[in-house]
Structure 1
Amino acid sequence: MLLRLALAIDDKKLETKIAGKLDFLSDLQIKHFGASNTAWQSLVRSCADIFLISDTMIPQPVESGLSILNNLPENPMTIILHGNESSADHARLLAAGADSVIYSGVVFSRLVEVMETVIDSRRQYNLMDRYDRKGRLKPKLSDFISESQQMQIFMEEVHQVVTSDTTLLILGETGVGKEHLAKAIHAESPRSNGPFIAVNTAALPEQLLESELFGHGQGAFTGAIRARRGSFELAHGGTIFLDEIGDMPLHLQTKLLRVLQEYEIVPIGSEEPTWVDVRVIAATNKDLEQEIEQGRFRRDLFYRISVISLTIPPLSSRKEDIPALIRTFISHYRKRIGRDVLGISDDAVMVMTRYAWPGNVRELMNVIERAMLLCRGNIITLKNLPEGILTGGDHENENNISTSGSGRASGDSYPLDTGQNLQDVSLCNQANIMFNVSEWEGKTLPQVRQEVVKEVEKIFIEQVLLKAKGRVGKAATMAGIHPRGLYSKMKQLGIEKERFKK
């Protein structure tokens, strides 16, 4: 993040000289307050990390003045320039809460040396403070379970872009883990030592969102008693994650475009731009191209943020990952909530694999946490699952599922009768026409379902590509999915668009 240094020195030449000497530091923003009558009030409201202030500028008694500075939300560091070399006076100021006291007549190089030491110390403080608040365990790309082919292809794409510094757009349904992916990319990027700042652009009213992103100056609007840093400034040297960017108001989209083009922000109430070094990762569950057609999203901004786009597959399309995800979440919540749950029954896994998971991975995590809290033994069973999981989704033969929680032996499979016991024999004949039903012998329902869904998806995609004459964008619109999602499906299923061009 950018560091703010506030100077309030009764010697204007010295103040200018100090600022000039430190101006080379790219992560330092210097504010001058001089020795005016309003300097103290402006200083207190400046939102600074470091104060360099003459002792004459501090209201008396000095202990009260320093107490005001030390109790500011930013927890700033204070350096006092004192007019004499009295060790007793210096000790009194240090005891009152000053971080350092320097005689104003000291050799200038010594003053600069002290300033550089304090600035470096503040950098380390900000870094440690961020880790203490957010937790020391960083998200990793390995957190993303990828036993399914679709997820493996997706993670290959992620690994190709993780070390770049370009803007990213993450697409996907609600709950697939867009913010977690953004954090993992940041943690494994060259910016990993910098801050990660997340902003949900849909969660704040328009004026508050502008202040949240770009900051504001003192008195910029009614109620702006103190200056406020924006998220872009806080993310300096790191990554800013803009969630739900499809909901950003149009006039703020214009300001965001300027940041991406000029690497400058202008806080509300200010005309002075501030340079920021930030990587932008945006995310949305909306079709931005459709939003552009509806006039709700700027086309030029879309081109800027979608230099590289990543579409996280929904959980419903990668159900092979569900058992591994369940094991991972059980291990996670075992430590977090202190329940000695060791695993889950096979019939519970089967039911959860059949479920559609409209809330994706977030919903799965919620279900596992709930099940562990309700579990009275050390194995999660069907009776620990919500009713919606047992009755929802695309279950067949639900009445034959035991709720006792005993489960079947791992590795057991049930042979499939290919028609003798079916009431509607014609339905079986239709299945034999589309699929090689004899190959289903000895397979479980989830295995058969996966094969059938894959074949049906291939037939459907080939049909829309044929109607669209090989134009992927048009075919994606007909299919109701994002073009990049269609490309991913085509790659997974071995479909080439050239076959359908006329």
Structure 2
Amino acid sequence: MLLRILIGSHDPDQAAALGKLLGPSLAAHVRALRPNENLWAVLRAEPIDLLVVDEPLLGGGALAAIHELRSLPDAPEVVVLVEADDATHRAELLAAEAFAVINPDIPPAELIAAFQTIVRRRAHQAHREAAAARQQTTNLLSDLATKSPVMREFLALVRKVADTDSTLLVQGETGVGKEFLSRAIHTQSRRFAAPFVAVNCSALSESLLESELFGHVEGAFTGARRARRGYFELAHGGTLFIDEVGELSPQLQVKLLRVIQDRRIQPVGSEEEFEVDVRIIAATNLDLNQEMEADRFRPDLFYRLSVVTLDIPPLRLRREDIRAMVDTHVEHFAINLRRAVASVSPEALELLEGYDWPGNVRELVNVVERAVLLTDSRSILVRDLPEEIRSGRSTAQPPGGGDLALQPRTASQVRNDPTQRPFAEARQELLDQFEMNYLRALLGRTNGRVTDAARLAELNSRSLYEKMRRHGIRKEFFKLGS
């Protein structure tokens, strides 16, 4: 988090001079109390981390004033500036919870050095508090143990870029674990001691999202009774995870691009800019190439975000990991839900390994939790699984190997006897089989070029992408040389 320092003095000129002296030297946002500003009003309107205050400004009851300052909403640490070096009085101020006591008349170099020490001490304290708060929820790359060659190759790339400051774009279907991976990357990076801050762009309106990202000042809009830090400021020194970045409005795309370029933010309603040190990891389940073709996403922002693109393989392309994931979550939910469930029957496991998992890891976790909660046995049985998994609507990898996304589902694979099912259901499965075969042939003809394939099929690109996503077909598999 970016450290905010307010310098207050009974002599405004002295406060301004001290602010100019310290501002360029400290890795923090430093400002002096202006002549027309009231100290207490500012502290109630703005988040301040460190108040550097001339003792006379606290009035006759300095000790009581420090206690009151420490009870404010953001409880700023207080550095008291004193004119005389009185050891007894210094001890009284420190006992009243002053963070430090300094004589401002010392030489400028010594004053700067003293404040640099204070700022580092305050920053380390904040980092320790943040680390302790997230200790129980730390995600590690080692948690992503895998037997899948596809996933091993992917994780090898992740490890190469984790301990850098490069901007990353994490792509993948819904439920593959984009935020989990991003948190693990942050943990692996040199920024681990600093905050990891996450924001979901699809969960907030445009006006609210702008304020959440960049912060706002008091009175910036109706209801803004107090200044507020934005996510960029809160993530200072650490990582900002921007989920569903493809949902950003054109206006916010421009503002995000400017921040990435300049590393400076401007809170809503403010004329002042802050410099921020943040690593950005953006994520989306949209195809941003398609969004750019449709003029919904800026190419210049895409290129800034995608210094390295990490495409998380969907679960159906790494079936080797399903058994271990199921076992891990059965054990987890058995403990947390206090159920005497110890295993999964071979028949149930076969169905789980054969299912396509359109909701990926998130869906698997939900299915296992439901089964552990509802089963009457010590082992999860076929009857404990959801109907779509029991019915075998999604098939395991066909004999002879190959990528599931490239394999048509034959009638025998989908169901041995289609007449055992309602007409509409059997008809839909045959239509799905035709659609998959058609899409494979079409993309093979165009070498994976979706725009050309859409033109030949007389479909718009968005419709074609939706059909590909539904069947688990990726254009990369049809490109020449892939």
Report how far residue 274 of structure 1 moved: 1.5
* Corresponding letter in the other structure for 1:358: P
Q: Tell me the residue number matched to 1:244.
A: 244
Task: Work out whether residues 77 and 99 of structure 1, in 8 Å CA contact, stay in contact via their aligned partners in 2.
Answer: yes
Q: Distance in 2 between matches of 1:470 and 1:206?
A: 35
Q: Tell me the residue number matched to 2:159.
A: 159
Task: Work out whether residues 292 and 299 of structure 1, in 8 Å CA contact, stay in contact via their aligned partners in 2.
Answer: yes
Rate the CA distance shift 1:166–1:91 in 2: closer, same or farther, 3 A.
closer
Report how far residue 269 of structure 1 moved: 1.4
Report how far residue 280 of structure 1 moved: 1.3
Task: Work out whether residues 239 and 281 of structure 1, in 8 Å CA contact, stay in contact via their aligned partners in 2.
Answer: yes
Q: Tell me the residue number matched to 1:140.
A: 140
Q: Tell me the residue number matched to 1:222.
A: 222
Percent identity, aligned pairs only? Answer: 39
Q: Distance in 2 between matches of 1:54 and 1:310?
A: 52
> Secondary structure, in 3 states, of the residue corresponding to 1:47?
coil
Q: Tell me the residue number matched to 1:456.
A: 407
Task: Work out whether residues 216 and 269 of structure 1, in 8 Å CA contact, stay in contact via their aligned partners in 2.
Answer: yes
Task: Work out whether residues 9 and 35 of structure 1, in 8 Å CA contact, stay in contact via their aligned partners in 2.
Answer: no
> Secondary structure, in 3 states, of the residue corresponding to 2:81?
strand
* Corresponding letter in the other structure for 1:305: L
Task: Work out whether residues 5 and 31 of structure 1, in 8 Å CA contact, stay in contact via their aligned partners in 2.
Answer: yes
* Corresponding letter in the other structure for 2:199: V
More divergent stretch after superposition (161-170 vs 375-384) = 375-384
Task: Work out whether residues 8 and 33 of structure 1, in 8 Å CA contact, stay in contact via their aligned partners in 2.
Answer: yes
> Secondary structure, in 3 states, of the residue corresponding to 2:51?
strand
Rate the CA distance shift 1:464–1:160 in 2: closer, same or farther, 3 A.
farther
Q: Tell me the residue number matched to 2:235.
A: 235
Q: Tell me the residue number matched to 1:264.
A: 264
Task: Work out whether residues 448 and 477 of structure 2, in 8 Å CA contact, stay in contact via their aligned partners in 1.
Answer: no
Q: Establish whether residue 489 from structure 1 lines up as the match of residue 480 from structure 2.
A: no
Q: CA RMSD in A?
A: 3.4
More divergent stretch after superposition (371-380 vs 135-144) = 371-380
**1:90-132 CA deviation, whole Å, 9 max, x = no partner?**
5554454433334555676665454333322211221122223
Q: Tell me the residue number matched to 2:30.
A: 30
Task: Work out whether residues 6 and 46 of structure 1, in 8 Å CA contact, stay in contact via their aligned partners in 2.
Answer: no
Q: Distance in 1 between matches of 2:48 and 2:354?
A: 55
TM-score (norm 2): 0.80
Aligned length: 444
> Secondary structure, in 3 states, of the residue corresponding to 1:78?
strand
Q: Tell me the residue number matched to 1:283.
A: 283
Rate the CA distance shift 1:27–1:293 in 2: closer, same or farther, 3 A.
same
* Corresponding letter in the other structure for 2:321: D
Stretches of structure 2 lacking an aligned partner (at least 5 in a row) = 409-435, 455-460
More divergent stretch after superposition (344-353 vs 86-95) = 86-95
Q: Tell me the residue number matched to 1:80.
A: 80
Rate the CA distance shift 1:354–1:194 in 2: closer, same or farther, 3 A.
same
**1:394-449 CA deviation, whole Å, 9 max, x = no partner?**
36xxxxxxxxxxxxxxxxxxxxxxxxxxxxxxxxxxxxxxxxxxxxxxxxx76639
Q: Distance in 1 between matches of 2:333 and 2:201?
A: 30
Task: Work out whether residues 260 and 304 of structure 2, in 8 Å CA contact, stay in contact via their aligned partners in 1.
Answer: yes
Q: Distance in 1 between matches of 2:402 and 2:222?
A: 62
Q: Tell me the residue number matched to 1:380.
A: 380
Q: Distance in 2 between matches of 1:280 and 1:227?
A: 24
Stretches of structure 1 lacking an aligned partner (at least 5 in a row) = 396-444, 491-495
5 Å matches for 1:84-163? Answer: 84=84, 89-90=89-90, 92-103=92-103, 111-136=111-136, 138-163=138-163
Report how far residue 266 of structure 1 moved: 0.9
Report how far residue 211 of structure 1 moved: 1.0
Task: Work out whether residues 18 and 112 of structure 1, in 8 Å CA contact, stay in contact via their aligned partners in 2.
Answer: no
Report how far residue 194 of structure 1 moved: 2.7
Q: Tell me the residue number matched to 2:361.
A: 361
> Secondary structure, in 3 states, of the residue corresponding to 2:202?
coil
Rate the CA distance shift 1:286–1:462 in 2: closer, same or farther, 3 A.
closer
